[in-house]
Amino acid sequence: AVNGDILYFGIPGYGVARKDMSTDELMAPLTTTSNSPGQSNPNSILPSDTIYSLESNGNDLYIGTANGAIVWDGSTSSTFKTGGQWNTRPQRYYDFTATGGNVYAGTNIGVCKWPASQIASANPDCLNVYDGMPNWDTYSVESEIIDVANGIHKFVSGTHST
């Protein structure tokens, strides 16, 4: 993902590497605490070093991992809040899309939605097989806006495993 002049890329078992494209400089990576044992590292922010998704939206970068998700604004991070019930507590975040003031994530329990301004404080609203989804894992989500007969329709679609 690209956010401003910074290229972010996930490296399995390592975290998120960063490169400033304006200077060609490699920057300090975003890692988990376990990748920096005994060190106080302000970039040790990831819930897991298994990176599934990176999505840029304005100044924010959504990072999905095997054990949670965060939003990174370039200097601070916030963890995606999960609900109290198992069906609102995703663990793996495969993809993100943002539209209409909401952030949607394809997760191991279906498609979950948060208000973009309340990612760290609001419980997600998740759709899963009990709501008519064909499967649990949703690997990709995409938002689209279609102008049909002068009306605008927004929808989020997802791709499931088979």
> Of 33-42, 75-84, 108-117, 130-139, where does mean pLDDT reach its minimum?
33-42
Residue 73: name the closest of 89, 84, 58 by CA.
58
What pLDDT does residue 42 have? 79
> What's the one-letter identity of residue 146?
I
- What integer is the mean pLDDT of 21-43? 81
- Whether pLDDT at 55 is above 80: yes
Residue with token string 């979950």: 112
Between CA 59 and CA 69 the distance in angstroms is 17
- Whether pLDDT at 19 is above 90: yes
In tens, the pLDDT along 109-154 reads: 999 999 999 999 999 999 988 888 888 899 999 887 655 555 544 4
Q: How crowded is the C-beta side of 145, counted as CA atoms within 13 Å?
A: 7
Residue 22 to residues 5, 16, 102, 117: CA-CA distances in angstroms? 6, 19, 31, 30
